[in-house]
Chain A
Amino acid sequence: MVKITFIDSGGTARTVEGEVGSTLMETAINNGVPGIEAECGGACACSTCHVYIEEAWREKVGTPSPMEEDMLDFAYGVQPNSRLSCQIKVSEDFEGLVVRTPDRQA
């Protein structure tokens, strides 16, 4: 388990336990973190699990695959640090990870 913090668009931070090997989207949904809809259940088919990775973490978290980039075309307010949280696997070195959720998903 690693600690992961989700900050919503209003600035409220929620720190939850993420299970190594599960996805960031699952971590949010399983812990009732608002701001992530994940309509397609993690199939990279809906882009409603959009998050912004805090600058300091971007390198560790990595860059989107071409398939994820395609899906990001449909997200709202895409920025260079945008990712789809269902495509990010939680790993040991995510302890302390901070991500932000956008003000709307769809």
Chain B
Amino acid sequence: MSETIKTDIVIIGAGPIGLFAVFELGLLDMKTHLIDILDKIGGQCAELYPEKPIYDIPGIPYTSAQGLVDALLLQIKPFNPQFHLNEMVEKVEKIGDPLFRVTTDQGKQFECKVVVIAAGGGSFQPKRPPIPGVEPYEGKSLFYSVRRMEQFRDKRILIVGGGDSALDWTLNLAPLAKKLTLIHRRSEFRAAPDSVNKMRALVDAGKIDLVFGQVTALHGDDGQLQKATVKTNDGAINQLECDALLPFFGLTMKLGPVANWGFELKNNELIPVETAAFETSVPGIFAIGDINWYPGKLKLILSGFHEGALMAQKAYHYCYPEKRLVFQYTTSSSNLQKKLGVAPQTAQPA
């Protein structure tokens, strides 16, 4: 196991609310590490609707969702937040007063004075394919991601989907596989044109098969796939022999490990907080953004920004118990401006 990372604050979730929290915490000298299961920064904005417009960020009449994420990243750059992507936070334990240990599914451990849960609608997880009875095969011969390519050497592989993941793995696994079949419901692909061209070249060379249709049933024993029933677009029903199935139907938000951290959840999915600092029932653990609940809660980005600002004020007292916090504006405080790396506008040297 790797060494424990010691920091002031661990933020679980790198969506817009976790990102802005870095800013508010940074102004008050608190160092942050952010952990997200996604392979990218920005939460729902980056994963679900990067190119769609947002019209209700105060002072910004229009931005794309990805544009907002990019702007937030620029805004928090002076505070040098550390990102840990592709990692799921599995455990949050109280080990001191206040001191917490946060553990990820990759075995990484953090020790911090304050935990900020900015987990949004939960963690992004692969969607189950629209096939009845997939559960027994999951993790045994049906996989949502590839961690080790060797596992697929000399296997008969079915890959389902038409996006970048499906195409990337088709191209990567084709040289290893005994036989590889790509199944998609139509002849257009969402994936990058370059990958689509490479895939078509493999099909033309007879190296892989391409089938237009949908998998309707799986057959096998004890979690080991043997065959899949495929209904092709011309109405034919075929049985394809296979050892492994890789379905890529995108991601959906599931609450995930948050459910196991001992909070009494509202409607089984939201963490109740008080509204002075958005602290949970455990002192030192805060919840901000879409994941929290309090009377009057609105799941809006602007509400989450406000929650982050109030949270930071209280978090300060856990990190610097002996210090008094003086309220300051970024406009006029040379102290804050120094932290932001912008030269103070007044007090020119003579």
Contacts and interface: CB of A to CB of B under 8 A. Distances in A.
B127 A106 contact: yes
A73 B48 contact: no
A76 B130 CA distance: 5
Interface residues of B, number: 17
A96 interface: no
Interface stretch (B80-88, B184-192, B259-267, B336-344): B184-192
B93 to A, nearest CB: 32
B120 interface: no
Q: Is the interface of A mostly helix, strand, loop or mixed?
A: loop
A45 B45 CA distance: 11
Interface string A63-91: 00010011011111110000000000000
B188 A69 contact: yes
A73 B249 contact: yes
A13 interface: no
Contacts of A76: 130
Contact of B252 (A43, A66, A70, A106): A106
Contacts of B249: 73-74
A98 interface: no
Nearest to A76: B130
Contact of A73 (B49, B52, B185, B252): B185
B18 interface: no
Nearest to B160: A73
B162 interface: yes
A75 B252 CA distance: 12
B250 interface: yes
Contacts of A78: 185, 214
A45 B49 contact: yes
A40 interface: yes
A46 interface: yes
Q: Is the interface of B mostly helix, strand, loop or mixed?
A: loop
Contacts of A69: 186, 188
Interface range on chain A (Cβ under 8 Å from partner): 10 to 19
A73 B161 contact: yes
Interface in B215-258: 249-250, 252
A44 to B, nearest CB: 8
A77 B49 CA distance: 23
Interface in A17-45: 40, 43, 45
A102 to B, nearest CB: 9
B78 interface: no
A77 B250 CA distance: 15
B163 interface: yes
A69 B162 CA distance: 11
Q: Which of B161, B185, B188 has the most CB of A within 10 A?
A: B185
A45 B249 CA distance: 13
A47 B141 CA distance: 27
Given A40-B49, A43-B52, A78-B185, A73 B127 contact: no
A45 B161 CA distance: 17
Contacts of B214: 78
A42 to B, nearest CB: 11
Interface string B164-193: 000000000000000000001110101000
Contacts of B161: 73
Nearest to B233: A80
B235 to A, nearest CB: 11
A43 B64 CA distance: 13
Nearest to B128: A106
5 contacts: A69-B188, A73-B162, A74-B249, A76-B130, A106-B127
Given A72-B185, A73-B186, 6 more contacts: A40-B49, A45-B48, A73-B161, A73-B185, A73-B249, A75-B130
